[in-house]
Amino acid sequence: MSYIAPVKDMLFAIEHLAQIEQVAQIPGFEDANLDTAQAVLEECAKFNEGVVAPLNWESDKNPSSFQAGVVTTAAGFKDAFRQYAEGGWQGLQHPADFGGQGLPKTIGAACIEMSNSASLSFALCPLLTDGAIEALLTAGSDALKATYLEKLVSGQWTGTMNLTEPQAGSDLALVRTRAEPQPDGTYKVFGTKIFITYGEHDMAENIVHLVLARVQGAPEGVKGISLFVVPKFLVNADGTLGARNDAHCVSIEHKLGIKASPTAVLQFGDHGGAVGYLVGEENRGLEYMFIMMNAARYAVGVQGIAIAERAYQQAVQYARDRVQSRPVDGSVAGSAAIIHHPDVRRMLMTMRAYTEGCRAMATTAAAAYDAAHHHPDAQVRKDNATFYEFMVPLVKGYSTEMSLEVTSLGVQVHGGMGFIEETGAAQHYRDAKILTIYEGTTAIQANDLVGRKTARDGGQSARAIAAQIEKTEGELTASATPAALAVAKRLQAARQAFLDVVGFVAGSAKADPNAVYAGSVPYLMLTGNLVAGWQMARALLVAQELLHKGQDEAFMRAKIATAQFYAEHILVKTGSLRDSIVEGAASVTALALDAF
């Protein structure tokens, strides 16, 4: 159950798909070249393989626990987080001004994948801290930045996102937590927040809660929500910790998975009011929260890739070791390792192709993020921002949905042993299930893709991506190898299916919203499938070229084989999704409500 970071595949994506050398031409990223990427990834692999990964199984068995307001995290977590902080990993992508290393997301995303492969539960703490840092960087006052950022970036303190309340999950309009303005400019916060990941723990000196609440008299709905910093301990003017704030953990949840990460119910203001500090302006909380959410959504997509990679590695190991039955082709006399059986190969290839495809998609999206935020040319920034925004729901939605299938196959490869908790495969299956839910369910991602990313511009961004894919098809056809032609055939059909659906979505979103939203998740799945398949096609072209140059033959051949498998076994699914979306919308809502 060990984990070996797939550094080679990550660097392939960083170098050839995300084109790190172009990222390194952006002012501020001059040092972020391939050598840097390699050095950082190797160091990161060492840390996560050696320190974090060994904690994963035991911390599921003996997870974080709660007693009298205090959460004790799983054995080893506190020490691992200390090492994480000391290694500078929390600050990897954050500005040097606040003690970070200022590396591009193109490199940082690979590190996030590694820590999540090592332990999803552990990695959630820095993941949420990243979100808090993003929100403060974007909207926090200089005073808030000065007080909190350096400590968060160093990993001395951690951050949380407090959105959900019992009646307000996907629907933040229903948030009831209230904030009362005080004469000194602070607020007193009152309310209950649930599902707060690392809402209480013992791994850091202070916890910086970012809390959505309504100021008295604010408009109803999402336009009346503000964002507050509510620290666990108040911070003195000299930066030392002051009084305990009135924000208390009253319980943690008993969950299906990610058990080692404490999921807290937080009670604000039961003893007079929790002191809160407004972030940015009143009633713009949702806007700021979306900054955190977007960062977190991308990261949750990477979690999907991470857990898929871990499940894949474990399944391969088992398939090599487990001897059972004769191969159908008679190639081995007597019983053979099950990796010789075609269906086991099909399962492993499916796991591998999904994982590599989504990694390629996420890495490419990361490079767009870097250009969108840092490129000197405004048009380049805008184009990349559009592309990245389109990618976020795909990275989040598709990579997490595929992780359910991959972790399920991971159990299946193990047969009966997979159902036994001691084997560890079942843990990945349990852990993955949260990924399609938190930071916005797949349906919420799909609504975003349909509404803000497709219908709003009449399908223009979507069609721009289709045009890029068509270019790749041309390159495949020109290359004319059997593998390239096989992939081109499937890619073309998938793109055509995509264009049909984009026409339907853009054309009918206003006139017949029920029909379009009935196909929203299938549309997300089709598009994620296509984009990941497209990136695998690009990878195939690069691999063919490098193979021709004699570079790393085994790796390049494997990439080509995996890309062709992706096209012939995953990309092919887009056709039926198209039919369901475009021709089957009415039957989704045809059943009378009382007939269910």
Q: How far is the CB of 437 from a second copy (least distance, A)?
A: 6
As measured in angstroms, the least distance from the Cβ of 391 to a second copy is 21
Closer residue to a second copy (CB): 156 or 508:
508
Closest to a second copy by CB, 54 or 575: 575
Nearer to a second copy among residue 108 and residue 459 (C-beta)? 459
As a whole number of angstroms, the distance between CA 535 and CA 491 comes to: 10
Residue type, 512: D
Collapsed DSSP state (helix, strand, coil) of residue 204: coil
Tokens at 270, concatenated: 């039961």
- Which residue, 21 or 421, has its beta carbon nearer to a second copy? 421
The answer to whether the CB of 400 falls within 8 A of the CB of 301 is: yes
Whichever of 106 and 447 has its CB closer to a second copy, that residue is 447
> What is the Cα–Cα distance from 144 to 137, expressed in whole angstroms?
9
Residue 345 CB, nearest distance to a second copy (Å)? 5
Backbone angles phi, psi at 103, to 5 degrees: -80, 155
The DSSP bridge pattern shows strands 263-268 and 157-162 to be: unpaired
Which helix H or strand E contains 118, and what residues bound it? helix 105-118
d(CA 50, CA 29) in angstroms, rounded, equals 29
Active-site position among 439, 470, 553, 568: 439
Q: How far is it, in rounded angstroms, from Cα 84 to Cα 466?
A: 41
> Closest Cα partner for 304 from 348, 358, 351, 258?
358
Contacts of 512 (CB under 8 A, 6+ apart): 585
Min separation Cβ 515 and a second copy, Å: 8
For residue 463, give both structure tokens.
């069609």
| 292 vs 426, beta carbon nearer a second copy | 426
- For residue 76, the SS3 value is coil
Separation CA 501–CA 509 (nearest Å): 11
Cβ closest to a second copy, residue 121 vs residue 436: 436
Q: Which residues contact 124 (CB under 8 A, 6 or more apart)?
A: 197, 198, 258, 261
CB 8 within 8 A of CB 53: no
Provide the minimum distance between the beta carbon of 451 and a second copy in the complex, in angstroms, as a whole number. 9
Whichever of 229 and 305 has its CB closer to a second copy, that residue is: 305
159 closest CA partner among 113, 183, 116, 124: 124
Radius of gyration of the chain (CA): 24
Burial of 218 from C-beta contacts in 10 A (0-12 / 13-18 / 19+): middle
Question: What is the H or E stretch that residue 426 is in?
Answer: helix 425-432
Minimum CB separation of residue 569 from a second copy in Å reads: 5
- How far apart (Å, rounded) are the C-alpha atoms in residues 393 and 445? 5
Nearest to 505 by CA among 369, 388, 590, 393: 393
Q: Which is nearer to a second copy, 7 or 588 (CB)?
A: 588
439 belongs to the catalytic site: yes
Query: CA–CA separation, 566 vs 359, rounded Å?
Result: 13
DSSP β-bridge partners for residue 244 = 233
Taking the complex as a whole, the smallest distance from the CB of residue 348 to a second copy amounts, in Å, to 6
The minimum distance between CB 195 and a second copy, in angstroms, equals: 5
Task: State the minimum distance, in angstroms, from the CB of residue 343 to a second copy.
Answer: 4
Q: List residues with catalytic annotation.
A: 439
